[in-house]
Chains A and B, each alone.
Chain A
């Protein structure tokens, strides 16, 4: 089993729709969780950190379920500019500098 698993997609979603991604992780000791966004041929960029209580940043909401070991990302009112690959990223121990990346979920927003 992979340490971090994501549905690779692609997700093709009409503009304005709501889209949700899930990600599961295998290490129950994992401490930090992130969603990164990667545009084609560009570097990954931090979209948001994921906190136990869940967190929201504008149209984006991230949730963490430690019991089930999954992380979710919800995008509301999707825009064309949201088209990208979304990477689920997990850090196993606090202060540990190694991250484990999922293979990413590719999202295309259709006009």
Chain B
């Protein structure tokens, strides 16, 4: 029944060691998002895809990259994680023109 799936649920990496988080969806939604959420804060949009069109937020660091090879999958690459990148990373989907966003369970990233 899971509609938005994120793997892994917990990720531990070392300072500066690249890490990739993955998201898949069974909803066939045309928009996919990556958010970063830190404790007691609202989710912060990093970027999103409308189909293959990539939309980067102006304040998203260059350290964060994304790929969407097909409708179902989207990846978040953190090229050189810093201690400040420790957070929950949420993937969400949306069908343009209708409804609300649906979130995956998130990946909690710890940087040592």
Other A-B pairs, 5, CB within 8 Å; known A94-B97, A101-B42: A46-B100, A46-B102, A95-B96, A95-B97, A102-B42
Q: Are A43 and B48 in contact (CB under 8 A)?
A: no
- Chain A residues within 8 Å of chain B by Cβ, number: 20
Inside 8 A of B45's CB, which chain A residues have their CB?
A: 98-99
> Across the interface, which residues of A come within 8 angstroms of B33, CB to CB?
97
Instruction: Verify B41–A103 contact, CB threshold 8 A.
Output: yes
**Using Cβ atoms and an 8 Å threshold, which residues of chain A touch B97?**
94-95
Question: Could you say which interface size class chain B belongs to?
Answer: 20 to 34
**Is B104 within 8 A of A43, CB to CB?**
yes
Say yes or no: is B8 at the interface (Cβ < 8 Å to chain A). no
By a beta-carbon cutoff of 8 Å, the part of chain A in contact with chain B is 32, 34, 41-46, 49, 87, 89, 94-95, 97-99, 101-104
